[in-house]
Structure 1
Amino acid sequence: MSAADPPAAAARRRHHRLLLLFVVFALTAVALIADLLARQQLSGGNGVDLGVLQLRLAYNSGVAFSVGDQLPAPVILAVTGAVTVGIAVFAWRSAPISRTIQVVGLAAIVAGATANVIDRIHDAKVTDYFHTGWWPTFNLADTYITCGVVLVIAAALLESPTGTAEEDPR
């Protein structure tokens, strides 16, 4: 913080980093608990039909849409771990100057990626359990990543013409 930095701006920067950490930890924990519950409750072919969505246990040894599922597990883990760390570093560094919506979006992306990496450590596979029939089976962490991307894009679209994010004056 420089001498010319107003206290409100410094407080906002601290708040955004704390928000980032809180959302990442909270969402990661919820996704990991959901994975555990899915493995326990849906094993042995058990499923739950919720209409458009079914809860059905599946495992993905690749990445999105099973891409790379033939690669050695350590390679997939190393690459996804490195990408996750890279995104987390970007989120941490950009949080102080980002809109709140962008911070939450980045946190959701980091949480989803982190939860999938942690889940993969267990057995070299990601636990999936949301099945639609018309889309590949996915998990809660995947929804975090998708929703996070939508929030980051929304933040970019809400950016002022001068290229700086206008914050809510509250």
Structure 2
Amino acid sequence: MTTGEPTRTARVTRARVALATTAALLAALDLGLKAWASTALADGTSVDLAVIQLRLAFNSGVAFSLGDTLPSGVVLGVTGLIIVGLGVFAWRTTRTATLPMRLGLAAVLAGAIANLIDRAADGVVTDYLHTGWFPTFNLADVFITLGGAALVLSSLRSTDSTPKDAAP
């Protein structure tokens, strides 16, 4: 190792801090937008932005209102367990994960945490993005979807560093 080159432990620590910071910032952005939407759109008004409208709605279930008849404590508990599992996976995977994989994990964690925090207050998640042809959703849902897509795409990349024409 040459002087000035960070150790493996330092690189992993830096990657973990970056993942946690990114997730926290994205979750804060979503929670801020939910607070704004709850105030600005509370009177039933909507804002037309051409391809999407800002319209206030609340979801007591999870994706596509699944589980909306379950007690909110059950939804919170199950969601919390999933987030803890995802957090442990992200923490352990960060050692070897590529940047796109770390960004995908941060986005999924951010969306899940933001929706959990929002639901903890009153048992529902605040939605405010409406297309007219798709259920109303929020930025946290976008983070979860795009983060999941990044994880799938990054996992499809070959991790085999052995040349294809090399003899076994």
* 2:128 is the alignment partner of 1:129: yes
TM-score, structure 1 normalization? 0.88
TM-score, structure 2 normalization? 0.89
Q: Helix, strand or coil: the match of 2:115?
A: helix
* 2:86 is the alignment partner of 1:95: no
- Counterpart-to-counterpart distance in 1, 2:149 and 2:124: 26
Count of residues in Structure 1 that have an aligned counterpart in Structure 2 = 158
- Which has more helix, going by share of residues? 1
Match of 1:116 in 2: 115
Whether the 8 Å CA contact 1:105–1:147 is kept in 2: the answer is yes
- Counterpart-to-counterpart distance in 2, 1:91 and 1:69: 28
* 2:77 is the alignment partner of 1:78: yes
Which sections of structure 1, spanning at least 5 residues, go unmatched? 1-5, 164-170
Map 1:9-24 onto structure 2 (within 5 A): 9-24=8-23
Q: Helix, strand or coil: the match of 2:94?
A: helix
- Counterpart-to-counterpart distance in 2, 1:135 and 1:84: 25
Query: Percent identity over the alignment?
Result: 47
Q: Helix, strand or coil: the match of 1:45?
A: coil
Deviation at 1:84, TM superposition (A): 1.1
- Counterpart-to-counterpart distance in 1, 2:34 and 2:61: 17
- Counterpart-to-counterpart distance in 1, 2:50 and 2:140: 21
Which sections of structure 2, spanning at least 5 residues, go unmatched? 163-168
Whether the 8 Å CA contact 1:19–1:104 is kept in 2: the answer is no
Match of 1:37 in 2: 36
- Counterpart-to-counterpart distance in 2, 1:80 and 1:7: 37
- Counterpart-to-counterpart distance in 2, 1:160 and 1:78: 35
Q: CA RMSD in A?
A: 1.5
Q: Deviations over 1:14-39 (max 9, x none)?
A: 22101111101100111100110010
- Counterpart-to-counterpart distance in 2, 1:92 and 1:22: 13
- Counterpart-to-counterpart distance in 2, 1:159 and 1:125: 40
Q: Deviations over 1:107-155 (max 9, x none)?
A: 1100100000000011100000000011111000000001101111121
Q: Helix, strand or coil: the match of 1:44?
A: coil
Whether the 8 Å CA contact 1:113–1:141 is kept in 2: the answer is yes
Match of 1:167 in 2: none
